[in-house]
Amino acid sequence: MLTQFLAALGFLTSFCLATNSTYHNPILPGFHPDPSCIFVPDWDDIFFCASSSFLVFPGIPIHASRDLRSWKLVSNALSRPEQLPGLNTAKRATSGIWAPTLRYRDGIFYLVTTLVYDDYPKNASNRFDNFVITTANPFNSSAWSQPVHFNFSGYDTSPFWDDDGQVYVTGTHAWEVQPGIQAFPLNIETSQVGEIVNIWNGTGGSSPEGPHIYRKDGYYYLLIAEGGTGSGHMATIARSKNVLGPYESDPKNPVLTAANTTRYFQNVGHADMFQDSEDNWWAVALSVRQGPDGSYPMGRETTLTPVTWNEGEWPVFTNVTGKMNGWHLESDAPVAEGEGSLVTSGEHLKFKANTTLPPEFVHWRFPTPSSYSISPPGHQNSLQLTSSISNLTGSDGRSAEPLGQTFVGRRQVHSFFTFSTTFDTTSLAAEDQEVGVTVFLDQLHHYDLGVVMVQNSTNSTNISPYLRLRGITTVPGFLSSDIAVIPVPNSWATKHIIFEIRASNITHYTFSAAPAGKKSQMIDIGFAPGLGLTWGFTGALLGVYATTNGGETEFQTYVSDWKDRFASSKDIVNVH
């Protein structure tokens, strides 16, 4: 009997080891909030995820993976201005694309989401523009369709196909207007909306939103977010025998949260669930990684956690941590298809002729195409930037600039990194002309290090180049304009300057500069706290800009040798 027991124990031990996989959160680091993920056996057992993009363009990034560990950007579902012209007119940094839901049915990928005009009154009928876009090829940005719009005065819309093929959409009304989760039948082809009914108000937390419906064991399960997207964020669930309710709440709600804890991963919520090839359940949720000062400039990120869901019972979610054990998945080669690179990859871009900017590169709203040119005549292996009248702040910090802002960047996806690039500043001549690098959250939260032409303090008629680090933020106690202003050293004797931004700790950015080819002369210009970029719904972008700061004299500058070097081995806080 003892022998049999020990043999059984050995089998169970081996079984447990065989069914566990170790992985690290976040799976989509940086500015990747409101995740929605699916598993598609028809596409070689690949997992796909979509996330919110707000006002950056191209928008709605689609990532793919075979093992839930290595995630590649395969397309941007919103890649053409004509798909959604209103994105360029939406004011406020909290406007734009909110919470896309990704689903697959009969060979077609469906993406349902909302363009939110967050500056409009909450009861305005045109505040929310809901639409569906589709594709038969998620690896090609241009394959995503034009939107089919439907009339619903709310946001966080999510489709569900019932057993009879009827599509129901769940969504959320504005908080002050009619709070709670709404549902209605939708004809996706004609955009005809049926009767809208309230199906659940949640457990009493604020802002019931982010709904998704799942069908299992004779029940309809409704997973939602409550508590706002801050420290009280949580996922709660209810179920019903009828898709339109009434829904009963899980007695153990919330099913997932970090509220009232000291965990490193905070603000956990806005979840979605899916199954793998072995029918195991997983959940993705947004979260933030807080530094000791409460800062999280990378914003809301995508985390993954296993879910135990026994027949007829409520799902049980595992709390989100950095290093996790989940259902077993074979380690597989990364996805080869698609347009981009692995989400954690660095970048060494040399702007070779006849190339385009990688799909990871984004702008704030729509770019002015003529402001960017790769390897123009006489400037091989460089990106030409034509200056904009607007700087990164804009005329009032929130307005859409009709003439555009010359800015392009990538998401910050590691706590520790070094970003550098070289500028040819030869063309700078008129007062207030400026080029440089930036950590950009939105128009009211950014730090910029550049060369700017200003009047010499000893001779008001003489315009000279100065290295200037300045920022703007609404975070109390961190309002800053000029952090440091120093003349470009005469000893540099060059107009080709290396700018560098690095994060060597988890609370501050360091901004540095050096003459091209002489990094040994690199000097630190100043420091800026990540807490000044801890605000809103987005995350930090690392990029370059060129502006006349309101002046009329347009100029060109040239960027070369773009390097993002991510020190992931130092990112030890991920394992907490």
Q: 88-121 burial string, b = 16+ CB within 10 Å, else e? A: eebbbbbbbbbbbbbbbeeeebbbbbbbbbbebe
d(CA 437, CA 519): 17
Cα of first residue to Cα of last residue in the chain, in angstroms, is 42
Is-catalytic flag, 34? yes
Question: What is the C-alpha separation between 274 and 264, in angstroms, rounded?
Answer: 25
CA dihedral 212, 217, 218, 219 (to 10 degrees): -30
Residue 271 in tokens: 């979840």
Encoding tokens for residue 291? Answer: 């530094």
The answer to whether the CB of 414 falls within 8 A of the CB of 567 is yes
Report the chain's C-alpha Rg in angstroms.
25
416 secondary structure, DSSP code = S
Q: How many helices (H) and strands (E) does the chain have?
A: 1, 40
Strand partners, 161: 167
Distance CA 378, CA 511 (A): 30
Which has the closest alpha carbon to 272: 256, 288, 261?
A: 256
Q: Distance between CA 236 and CA 249 in Å, rounded?
A: 8
Q: Please pick, among 118, 129, 209, 250, the residue that the annotation labels catalytic.
A: 209
Q: Are 256 and 320 in contact (CB under 8 A)?
A: yes
**509 backbone dihedrals φ, ψ, rounded to 5°:** -100, 145
Q: Just list the catalytic residues.
A: 34, 209
